Amino acid sequence: MQLFVRADVDTNLLPKTPLFGTDGIRGKAGKLLTAPFALHLGYCAGKVLRETTADDAPVIIGQDSRNSSDTLAMAISAGLTAAGLDVWHLGLCPTPGVATLTKDSGAAGGIMISASHNPPEDNGIKFFSSKGTKLDDLLTQKIEQQLRATEPENSDRSWGKHYYRPKLLENYSQILRQSLPAALDLTGMRVVLDLAWGAAVNIAPAMFKQLGAEVISLHQLPDGDCINVGCGSTHLDLLQQAVTAYQADLGFAFDGDADRVIAVDGCGRVVDGDYILYLWGNCLKQQQQLPDNLIIATVMANLGFERAWLGSGGKLQRTSVGDRHVQAAMWRTGAMLGGEQSGHILCHHHGVTGDGIQTALHLSALVRQSKVSLTELVDGSFQTYPQILQNVRVEDSDRRSCWQECEPLQQAISQAETAMGKQGRVLVRASGTEPVIRVMVEAINLELTNYWTNNLVSVVRQHLAA
C-alpha cells in the first residue's frame, strides 16, 4: 500500500533557529504548535523512531491539562500511526510517567505534550528514547531535517493503531512505590500538595495517602485555563501560607507536568533543589551509595550549597542549565544523583529521568527516617548566598540567540564580575524554553546582589528587548 502523508505546513515559515530546545519543541499553542505541525512532526518522528527499534514497538504518549494538549496529542498520534507505528495514549499523566513506562514496556519512544512550568497559552512536545531518556541530539536533528524537507515523501508501510491505555499508569504508581523503603509509613505526617491544576492531580495525592499521610491538596483538578497560574513550583506563596495555616509537617509544589518539585518546611521556608540534593546526597553518602561522593548540578546551583557539600567531603560537578545536561554528565561520570535548583532531581538508583513525585516521596521518607523535622534538617545543612534571577522578555529570536554578541551587555557583565570578585558571580543566558534572557546574580550580601541585578537587567532591556 502506498501512503501519501503531508500536513498543511509551510516549512519556509518555520523559525530559522533550531526547533528543538533544551526540552523538546516549545512555543505558543496555535502559532508554531498547530495541529498540522503536530501531524507532520508525528509522521517525521515516526519514520526516525522506526529505524531504531522493532517494528511492533509502540510509542507512548502522555499529556498535561492544557486546553491545547488534546489537539496536539491527537494530531501527533495521527502522524505516528501514518508512519506505521502503534500509539499507546496514557491521557493526563506526569512527564516522568511517560519516560518510566516507555523504558519499562519496551516502547520505541515516548512523547509528552506539555510546556512544564510555562503559562497555559504555551505548549511543548518532549521526546524520550526507548530507554526513557531524553532523545539524543542526533535523532532530534534527523527529525528536524525531515520536518524541514520541502518535498513530500511516500511511505509503503501499513497504518498503525491508536490505543487509549490510562490503566498503564497503575504500573507507574507501582514503580514509584517500589523505589521507596519497604516499611515506609507516613502515618501522622500532614502534607500539603500544590498540584498546579496539572499532571500530578491524580497520582501524587493517592501515593501519599496510600503511605498513611494526611494530605491537603491545593489546585487539585486538571484545569487548562489555570495550569501554573499563580501556583505550582514557580509561585510558592499559597503553598507557604497553607503549610503554616494547617500546621503541616511539609509541603510540595509541582510544576504543570510534575517532573520537578520544590518543598516547603513546617515554618513555610522554601526548600529548593539545592537543599534536596544536599540532604539526599548526605543520606546516600552515609549509606555508601553515592559513587565518589559526587553530585551533578548546574551553573545555577548556589555557592552556599557548593561550599557546604565540598566541605563535607563531597564532590560537585556543574553543567549547563537543563536536566538533559545533568543526565548526560551523570551517565558520563557514573554519578547516581544530580539535579537543578529549580527542582529537577535525578537519582539513578530509582529511575532515568527527573520525577517530582518520586523526589517528594523520597524526601518525606528521609524526614520520617531521620526522626527530626525538615526544618531541623535544613537548619543543619547550609546557608545560601543571596541569589536573584530575573527574566527579561526578548521576543526577537535573532536578538535573543545572539545575546553574547551584544557588546554593551558583555561590558556590563565584565564590570560586575570584576567588581564582585570572589564575593559573587553572574550568569546571563538565553532560555531554551521561553522567549526570555535570564539574568542571575549571586553575591555575599543582598545589597550587592540587587545592585548588579538591576544594572544588568537595565542593559538587557535597553539593548536587546527594546
| Residues 324-366 pLDDT 10s | 899 999 999 999 999 999 999 999 999 999 999 999 999 999 9
Question: Do the beta carbons of residue 262 and residue 273 sit within 8 Å?
Answer: yes
CATH of domain 179-379: 3.40.120.10
Q: Where are the beta strands (DSSP E) in 329-432?
A: 337-339, 345-347, 387-393, 424-430
Can you tell me the distance from the alpha carbon of 365 to that of 180, in angstroms, rounded to the nearest whole number?
Answer: 8
pLDDT at 422 over 90: no
CATH topology agreement for domains 3-168 and 179-379: yes
Position 81, amino acid:
T
Model confidence pLDDT, tens digit, residues 18-54: 888 878 899 999 998 999 999 999 999 999 998 887 7
**Where are the chain's structural domains?**
3-168, 179-379, 387-465
- What DSSP state is assigned to residue 167? G
Can you tell me the distance from the alpha carbon of 425 to that of 418, in angstroms, rounded to the nearest whole number?
Answer: 10
Confidence of residue 240 (pLDDT cuts 50, 70, 90): very high
Least confident of 143-147, 186-190, 200-204, 282-286: 143-147
Q: Residue 260's pLDDT is what?
A: 97
The class (CATH top level) of 387-465 is alpha beta
The string of DSSP codes covering 168-190 is GHHHHHHHHHHTS-TT---TT-E
Confidence of residue 370 (pLDDT cuts 50, 70, 90): very high
Could you tell me the pTM of the whole model? 0.89
Burial class (CB in 10 A: 0-12, 13-18, 19+), 291: middle
Can you tell me the distance from the alpha carbon of 187 to that of 192, in angstroms, rounded to the nearest whole number?
Answer: 14
CATH of domain 3-168: 3.40.120.10
The residue with greater pLDDT, 446 or 150, is 446
pLDDT at 152 over 60: no
User: Cell numbers 557548593 correspond to what residue?
Assistant: 306
Question: Do the beta carbons of residue 465 and residue 394 sit within 8 Å?
Answer: yes
Active-site amino acid positions: 116
- Distances in whole angstroms, Cα of residue 119 to Cα of each of 122, 184, 438: 6, 36, 17
The pairing of beta strand 250-254 with beta strand 190-194: parallel
Confidence of residue 3 (pLDDT cuts 50, 70, 90): very low
